[in-house]
Amino acid sequence: MHRITAAATCLLAGLAACGTPTDLADATIPNVESTVTLSALTGTPIATPSAYSVAEANAVRTDQGAAFDFAFNIDPAGRAVFLPLAVLGLGVTGGTNAGFLATDQAFESITSAPLNGYVTADTIPVQVGQHYIVRSRVVCSGLGVPKYGKMEITAIDPSPGVRTITFRVLTDDNCGYRGLDPGIPTE
């Protein structure tokens, strides 16, 4: 009986510690802002990146695998849209999916990502000037958590033969951290 109680106590203590930045190793990767341009999934050459990986902080070609968090397209009505993995049928069932959280905050004012409230299973119509907090698929294998970022849509060109979106983005590449200020995060 004593062994079961000791094991249960250790398990509960470990679960209670999960996800609190004070229990994580110190962050070592600085948060850096970048600008990304994606081409639409349709009406553009397959060799151009149409998806983005929050987890790896880079544009991704969809013909080379599904290691991304969302794709960009221009729908038949001419609307620019983001398509999270779950919309593309690539999300997980019963787990944490990549998603978007719209915000009225200015890009610089977004300093931390919340844990919940992300749209994961719907198409996200986008317009220039909109701001989002974004969450990746689960990528931190040791912790089983996603990574977070913030973005601002800066340009959309729906012209035939172009069909692109440009956004500024900052991601926190430190597993378990949700701080979205430039530099080494503390939370």
| Banded pLDDT at 94 (limits 50, 70, 90) | low
Q: What tens digit of pLDDT does each residue of 19-35 get?
A: 444 578 899 999 999 99
CA-to-CA distance for 162 and 94, rounded, in angstroms?
A: 37
Q: What local confidence, expressed as pLDDT, does residue 71 receive?
A: 98
Q: What tens digit of pLDDT does each residue of 108-153 get?
A: 999 999 999 999 999 999 999 999 999 999 998 778 899 999 999 9
Q: What tens digit of pLDDT does each residue of 162-179 get?
A: 999 999 999 999 999 999
Mean pLDDT in residue range 87-115: 92
CA-to-CA distance for 151 and 129, rounded, in angstroms?
A: 10
Taking the model in full, what pTM does it have? 0.85
